[in-house]
Amino acid sequence: MDVNSVQHITQKKIRNFLVFFCLFLLLSCTKEPMFQHSLIYENNQAISLMFTGTKEANSYAIRLKGKSYNVLGDYQKEGNDIQFTPVIAFTRGESYEILLDEKVIQEFLVPKDMEAERPRLLSFYPKLDTVPENLLKMYLVFSKPMQQSQSTLDFIKVFNTTTSEEVQIFLPLENELWNADRTELTLWLDPGRIKKDLIPNKELGIPIKQGNNYEIVVENTLTDQEGIELGKPYVKRFSVAGRDIQKPNVKQWELTIPSGKSKEALGITFNDFLDAQLIEETISVVDANQQQIKGSFLIPKKGNNVLFIPENVWNRGKYQVLISGYLEDLAGNNLNRLFDEDLQSKKEKVLGSLNLLHFEIE
C-alpha cells in the first residue's frame, strides 16, 4: 500500500471520529443535568416539590405512581430550578413520578408522618398512685411491637425521689416477658427481695420501701421493631404504702346486676386492687347451661372493679361468675394463698380451683 493510500485511510478515520464526537456532544447537550429533587414542608405537610429541569415547566408532569392522570398544581421555573405546588398537599406514605414529555424520569416517596407513626406507651399498670410495699409486677403496654435487640431495662430508669438516688427494682431477665406481638411487657420486682427470710431480701432489702416516693422513666430512645424511637420520655410516679398481707376474698365481692333484654354491663366490685392483666384470663361468665357468655372487660383506672360488657343482650335466667384461683392482687396473693406463704404447705389449696358467684337476671 503506497503512502497516499495510508494518508487517505487515516484522514477518513479522523473524519469519522470527529463526526461521532460531535454527535456525542449534541446528544449530551439534550439530556437533563443530574437530577435532584426535594420536598418542602409546612405544618408537617409536604406542600411543594423542588426539582431540576432544563425544559419548559409545561414539559413536566407529576403523577401518583401507578395512575394515568396528572396531579393538579402550579409550576414555577427559575433557571434550572422548578417548583411544583399541588392543589392538595402530597399524601404521606405515597410514591409519585416525575415525567418529562410523558416519560418517567424520576420517582420520589413522601415519607410517613414520623410523629404519627412513633410508638407510644399507652398504659402503665398498676395505674394507682399508691402501691403496696410488696408490689410484685408492673406492665407496660405499647401501641406498636417493640424492639428485641437490646434489654428494655436499658431504657428504663427508676429514681427514689425521697432519697434522691437511682435504684434498681426490676428483676433482669435474659428472655423478657413480652406478649406474642411484643406490645405488652411484664416487669417483675425481684421476688427474692420481696419474700421475707430469703437471702436477696436480707442482703439487698425490699425493692420499694414504705413511705418512699418513686419515679420510673421510660427513655425517649427506646425503639419499636422498625427502629422508630418513642420520641419523648414517659414518666410514672407513685408512693409506697404498707405490705398487702390479705388474700382477695370472693365472698366480699359485690355484683351490679344488669337488666334483662339489655346489653347493660355486669359490674363486679372487688375487695382489693387486683392484677388488671389477669382479670380477663381468670374471670368468665356462664349461663345456666354452662355456656360461656361472650363479651369484653372494661377495667377502670383503680383496678378494684371491672365491668363485663356482653356481645348480645342478657336473657332472663340464672348465671355464674367463674373465678380461677390464679387471680392475684398487686402483691401476688392469689385467691388460695399469700405470695409470701410456704409453697410446700399442706394447707395449700389447688391453685386452679374455681370460685363461683351466682346471680339471676329477671
* CATH number for 263: 2.60.40.1220
Residue at a domain's end among 113, 143, 167: 113
pLDDT, greater one: 202 or 343:
202
261 torsion bin: left (phi>0), alpha (psi -120 to 50), beta (else): left
Same domain, residue pair 345 and 255: yes
Amino acid at 136: L
Q: Quick: pLDDT tens for 133-192.
A: 999 999 999 999 998 888 999 999 999 999 999 999 999 998 999 999 999 999 999 998
Same domain, residue pair 106 and 126: no
Residue at a domain's end among 69, 92, 113: 113
Residue 312 contacts residue 117 (beta carbons within 8 Å): no
Same domain, residue pair 215 and 186: yes
Is 257 within a domain?
Answer: yes
Which residue range forms the structural domain that includes residue 289? 250-361
Closest by Cα among 139, 135, 220, 229 to 179: 139
Same domain, residue pair 175 and 279: no
Is 23 within a domain?
Answer: no
Cell 372487660, located at residue? 297
Is 9 within a domain?
Answer: no
Same domain, residue pair 232 and 134: yes
Average pLDDT along the chain: 85
**CA dihedral over 113, 180, 223, 155, signed as positive or negative:** positive
**Joined grid coordinates for residue 143:** 401501641
Residue at a domain's end among 240, 264, 281: 240
Same domain, residue pair 98 and 206: no
Q: List the single range of 49-53, 212-216, 332-336 with lowest mean pLDDT.
A: 49-53
Closest by Cα among 236, 241, 237, 238 to 209: 241
Same domain, residue pair 155 and 234: yes
Is 30 within a domain?
Answer: no
Number of domain units in the chain: 3
Q: Name the pTM for this structure.
A: 0.66
